[in-house]
Structure 1
Amino acid sequence: MKFPTFLSLSLILTLASASVFAGATLDRINQKHQLVNVLMESYPPFSFLNDQNQLDGFDVDVANAVASKLGVELKLETPSWEVTAAGHWQGRYDVCICSMTPSAARGQVFNFPAEYYASPAVIVVNAKDSAIKSAADFSGKKIGVGSASTYEAYVNKDLVIEGAENTHIDYPFDQAQAVPYETDDVTFQDLALGSGKRLDAVLTNLVVAKERITHDPRFKITGNVLYAEPNVVATEKGDPEWDAKLAQVLAELKKDGTLTKISEKWIGSDITQ
């Protein structure tokens, strides 16, 4: 009788532990009355430091809307993108509402409970450049990209978008050099020096590119869009209850028009549908 009893007790403990783990993130958020969102410090108009030296932008507003739905305060953290995208946060952050594009590699570490906007990837060059008209001109060129980004994967010809694995991605160039940067500010500073000096082109989000060009005529978009980028909310694996809650909250924010209002405020159009 002792052996079956031991098995029963082990099963009960296992189920109890699984139950606790499944809701660990939401429990932590409710206990602290705080949602910790991780994002980038310099990725306008999605996240950036405003004139008051406070984080502002599209992603900040979406994170605030999520926190409001949960009835808690929002705390923002801005580690390097490599730290964010590597995962294994160990409870330091609750969620990444940070313009992350899903990929096969990231899918091994993260879950993606909700897509909240989409925007294509584009090529930006120095306004005086005429050598690069499309990705077909990338061969032998130095392309500025965000470190550990999907843009870096594209230049390295190994981009796989999670959930769209069968989507054909065209690589119309032989070999190009991906030059990774921690922030877009430094990337564009190097591109502004002139083509072929430190960079020949930059890959980035269409919305980010338009925002940059609006305020700085030293740059221009060239060629067609390269591929469509879904941008998702990301969480660490292992907490299905938290994923389900986030999916519910984002669906509510879409349905009640909150995401549309945020998009129109920062982008001038609705990229959330």
Structure 2
Amino acid sequence: MKTSALLTLGLALATSCSAAFAGPILDRVTEKGVLTGVLMESYPPFSFLNEQNQLDGFDVDVAKAVAARLGLKLQLETPSWDVIAAGHWNGRYDICVCSMTPSKARAEVFDFPVEYYQSPAVIVVNANDNNITAGKDLSGKKVGVISASTYEAYLNKDLVIEGAEDRPLHYPFDSVQVAPYDNETVAFQDLALGTGVRLDAMVTNLITARERIAQDPRFKIAGDTLYAEPNVVAVEKGDPQWNAKVADVVAQLKTDGTLSKLSRKWIGADISQ
């Protein structure tokens, strides 16, 4: 009887330790067989609704590749960016393959297992504007950005990129009137009305800017890039085993050329290295 009780206790402890070792997020996705990812609905060419009203783009394809490599079904959600970036998902989402920059503030609520591409931030203006030609010209201007984005933090002069604390950013402008938007589509629509009507400029990703400009000649890039930022996969804090699993899978996608192939498909160049 004593031996049986000890055996039962030992099995219970082993099961408990095994579950604890798996980690809460890894445990959850493994049990459900589903990976729930978040990204933006209108951020081409990274994520957008195609003509079939389905999510498409670089981030979408990377998320699909990650799920496939994990042997999981992918479910994508598109809450607003401020909801995504605020963290504290409480199990609603498992992963963000959504062009997130690892800021110092975000590191308080997220872990960043792996970087999967880099991109610079640029100024976009109305095609008829010739007054804004560099970062210094943003002083006193009304500039549109995605709400809770690193671009908003940059214009407020309080962006610190996680892991790059020793390389402070350069702010060539004085005070800027920051205009946050839920998505860039509305911001571009406002900028298209003309300089000073609702916006004077926008700050966004170079790749996104080029995609918009290729489809709409009412915009142009002004001046040089403002700064370069890494883009990482983000997950809820507190599960090192999940972090390691995600980092390993993305490393595999880099090594076997999948990320490079997807990058060339959507961007026309390899931004994954």
- TM bracket, shorter-chain basis: over 0.9
In 2: Cα distance, 1:221 partner to 1:22 partner:
47
Is the counterpart of residue 164 in structure 1 residue 164 in structure 2? yes
Matches within 5 A, 1:183-222: 183-222=183-222
Output the TM-score relative to the length of structure 1: 0.93
In 2: Cα distance, 1:21 partner to 1:121 partner:
39
Is the counterpart of residue 48 in structure 1 residue 53 in structure 2? no
For 1:173, the equivalent position in structure 2 comes to 173
In 2: Cα distance, 1:193 partner to 1:54 partner:
29
In 2: Cα distance, 1:46 partner to 1:256 partner:
21
For 2:37, the equivalent position in structure 1 comes to 37
In 2: Cα distance, 1:174 partner to 1:160 partner:
18
CA deviation map 1:133-191 (0-9, x unaligned): 11101111000001000100111011100111111311111111110001110010000
In 2: Cα distance, 1:166 partner to 1:218 partner:
38
For 1:145, the equivalent position in structure 2 comes to 145
Output the TM-score relative to the length of structure 2: 0.93
In 2: Cα distance, 1:208 partner to 1:167 partner:
25
In 1: Cα distance, 2:30 partner to 2:170 partner:
45
Is the counterpart of residue 109 in structure 1 residue 137 in structure 2? no
In 2: Cα distance, 1:264 partner to 1:151 partner:
25
Contact 1:21 1:238 in 2 (8 A): no
- How far 1:26 moved relative to its partner? 1.4
Unaligned residue ranges in structure 1 (runs of 5+): 1-8
For 1:229, the equivalent position in structure 2 comes to 229
In 2: Cα distance, 1:31 partner to 1:22 partner:
11
Once superposed, what is the RMSD of the aligned Cα atoms? Answer: 1.7
Q: Percent identity?
A: 68
In 1: Cα distance, 2:142 partner to 2:171 partner:
15
In 1: Cα distance, 2:156 partner to 2:73 partner:
40
- The number of equivalent residue pairs is 262
In 1: Cα distance, 2:245 partner to 2:237 partner:
14
For 2:68, the equivalent position in structure 1 comes to 68
In 1: Cα distance, 2:206 partner to 2:17 partner:
45
CA deviation map 1:55-113 (0-9, x unaligned): 00000000000000001110000001111000000000000000000101000000000
- How far 1:194 moved relative to its partner? 0.4
- How far 1:199 moved relative to its partner? 0.5
Unaligned residue ranges in structure 2 (runs of 5+): 1-8
In 2: Cα distance, 1:72 partner to 1:176 partner:
45
